[in-house]
Amino acid sequence: MENSIMGTVVTAKVTDENDDAYFVQVNGQTLWVDKQEPEKPLHIGGQYEGFVYENENHQAQMTRHIPEISFENYVWGTVVRTRHDLGVFVDVGLPNKDLVVSLDELPTLSRLWPKKDDRLLVKLARDNKERLWGTLADQTVFTDMATPYDRDQVKNADTQVTVFRLKMAGTSVITDDGHLGFVHPSERDQEPRLGQHMKARVIGHLRDGELNLSLKPRGYEEIGDDAQMLLAALQHQADHTLPFWDKSDPEDIRTYFNISKGQFKRAVGNLLKQRLITQQPGEIKLTEVNDDETDD
C-alpha cells in the first residue's frame, strides 16, 4: 500500500495515555508508544516522532529509537529463532519485534537454513496486508559493498566470513573486513548454512577479484594428538631431529614417547604425508620449511 506508514518515520499527535502507554495518531491511525521510552512525559496535543511498525502483540507501535534498517538500507540482523512453516526471525534492533525472512527466500533444504545467532543482511519489505518482513540482500548488494584487498596481506591468512549465497558450484561469503570470497565444494567437508559465521583460510585469488577460500584446516591442524606430540618433541631439539624411525624398537619408542609403535608409525606417516618431516634410517627430522617456521 503506497500510503502505508508501516516501516516509515512519521510525526504523530499525542491523543491519550494509560498506565503503560501513550497513544498517538497520524492520518487517523492510532499508534502505541511505550511509556518508558520518552525521556520526558508526553502531553496531550503534543507531537512525537518515531518509526512505525507492528509489534509482536500485533499492535501498531511507534518508537523514537529509529532503526538503521529501511526499505532502501540493508543491515546485519541476528537470527533469533526458526519456524519451519514461516521462515527465520531476525533481530534488527526493534523493540518488541523481530522481522521474519520468509521461507520462500531460504534454501530448499532446511538443514541449510540459518540457526540462532547466524547473521543475515536484510532490508525492509512490506506486503499488501501492511506486514513488515526482512528481505535478503542479493549478489549485487554484496558486490557494491565489497572492499578491495591487499594480496600480500591476505596471503594464506585466516579470516572470519559470513555465508550469504549457496549454489551447486560453491559457497559465496563476505569476510568481516568486507572482502568477497568463494569456497569451492572441494574445500569444505560439509556445506555451510546460509548466514553461518565461521573461520576460513585464504588459499588464492579468483579472476573476478574474489578471495579463493578453504574451510578445511591446514595439514598440521588435523594431524592428531600423537603427531602433534612428535612435532613438539622435534621442535624442542636443537637440530630438530630425533633418533627414531618406523623400524625403531617398540620398547624404545614407548619409553621415550609413551605411545605404542603402531601409534608412532601412524603419527610419522601422517607427518610425512603432510610434508612436515622427513625420515631416513635411524631418524626423523623437521622439513626445512617447517624448520624455518619454528625459528620465527
Select 145-214's CATH number: 3.20.10.10, 3.30.450.20, 3.20.20.450, 2.40.50.140.
2.40.50.140
Give the residue-averaged pLDDT of 103-119. 96
Q: Which one of 77-81, 150-154, 208-212 scores highest in mean pLDDT?
A: 77-81
Whether residue 188 has pLDDT greater than 70:
yes
In this model, does residue 195 exceed pLDDT 70?
yes
Stretch (H or E) spanning 174:
strand 170-175
> Which residue is associated with the grid cell 572470519?
160
Mean pLDDT of 163-181: 96
Is a pLDDT exceeding 90 seen at residue 244?
yes
Residue where the block lists cell 610419522:
268
pLDDT, mean over the chain: 91
| CATH class as words, domain 220-295 | mainly alpha
pLDDT for 293: 45
Residue 289 pLDDT > 60: no
**What residue spans define the domains of the chain?**
9-63, 75-137, 145-214, 220-295
The pLDDT assigned to 149 comes to: 85
d(CA 32, CA 53): 10
- Same fold flag, 9-63 and 145-214: yes
Task: Give the span between the Cα atoms of 39 and 14, in whole angstroms.
Answer: 15
Distance of CA 219 to CAs 24, 140, 264, 271, Å?
63, 35, 18, 9
Tell me the CATH number for domain 9-63: 2.40.50.330
For the four alpha carbons of 29, 36, 72 and 171, in that order, the dihedral sign comes to: negative
Mean pLDDT, residues 35-52: 94
Mean of pLDDT values over 34-53? 94
CATH superfamily label, 75-137: Nucleic acid-binding proteins (2.40.50.140)
- Among 172, 121, 178, smallest CA distance to 145 is for 178
pLDDT at 135: 98
DSSP conformation letters of 184-241: -GGG-SSPPPTT-EEEEEEEEE-TTSPEEEE-SPPGGGGS-HHHHHHHHHHHTSTTSE
pLDDT at 291 over 70: no
- pLDDT given at position 294: 41
| pTM of the predicted structure, to 2 decimals | 0.74
